Amino acid sequence: MLKIDIQNKRYSNKTILKDVKVDVLENGLYGIVGKNGSGKTTFFNCLTHLTTFEGTIHFNGKPLPPSQVAFIPTEPFLYDYLSVGEFTSFYCQLMKIKGNKNVTFDVDTKLLVKELSTGMRKKAYINAVFQKDYDIYIFDEPYNGLDIESVYVLRKIIKQLSENHIVFVSSHLLESLYESKAIYVLQNEHFQKILPKDFPKIETMLFE
């Protein structure tokens, strides 16, 4: 279904990812973990073609188009002087979608982006992204900045999405990834695939 082959990704003279091969054969939730600076966000940027790299990414036997990948970064960028409603319209025009779906989070569309807290900015961004259905969803530290209720809602949504889509989630909260079909641990430029029976060993792998 999804075949990722990142042979090499460098910034200046530093190798970030090397010989990363990930084959996802079915829909589901897949965790991505690693220490800060290990290359998790770089991996996601490769999947969305936000950065260049040596290698290929195929979905169902064809090159994966970026338009079929939803990416919710840790700190989404929104234009400060647009209202929430204007940003949603801008995003829909950019992605060439009608944008008539119900919103996930209650955010006042008349507020300017600059008036929003970190958590509300993320909610506004998620509302915009969810105006379209994608084949693959990527959530980079999705729970940062969200209140308890919003974390609960988003975890439920991610679980629902994973029933019919491929969903990648990075998180420092390992327990939030324990429903994953597999967790990929990024260390020393490479991924190691961990299956559910070995999830309790991940902390030891990372920190000892």
Asked whether the predicted pLDDT for residue 101 surpasses 80, the reply is: no
Question: For residue 100, what pLDDT band results from cuts at 50, 70 and 90?
Answer: low
Task: Report which DSSP code applies to 12.
Answer: T
CA-nearest of 170, 175, 176, 177 to 191 is 170
Whether pTM exceeds 0.85: yes
Nearest to 130 by CA among 158, 159, 171, 109: 158
Please, which residues have CB within 8 angstroms of residue 93's CB and are 6 or more apart in sequence? Answer: none
pLDDT tens sequence across 39-92: 899 999 999 999 999 999 999 999 999 999 999 999 999 999 999 999 999 999
CATH number of 2-196, picked from 3.40.50.300, 3.90.1200.10, 3.40.50.2300, 3.40.605.10: 3.40.50.300
- DSSP symbol at 60: T
Q: How many CB atoms lie within 10 A of CB 54?
A: 13
CA distances (Å), 138 to each of 15, 22, 71, 73, in order? Answer: 23, 15, 5, 8
- What is the distance between the alpha carbons of residues 66 and 146, in angstroms, rounded to a whole number? 27
- Domain range list for the chain: 2-196
- Separation of alpha carbons 87 and 94, rounded Å: 10
The pLDDT value recorded for residue 98 is 78
E strands, 25-157, are 28-33, 54-59, 62-63, 69-72, 136-140
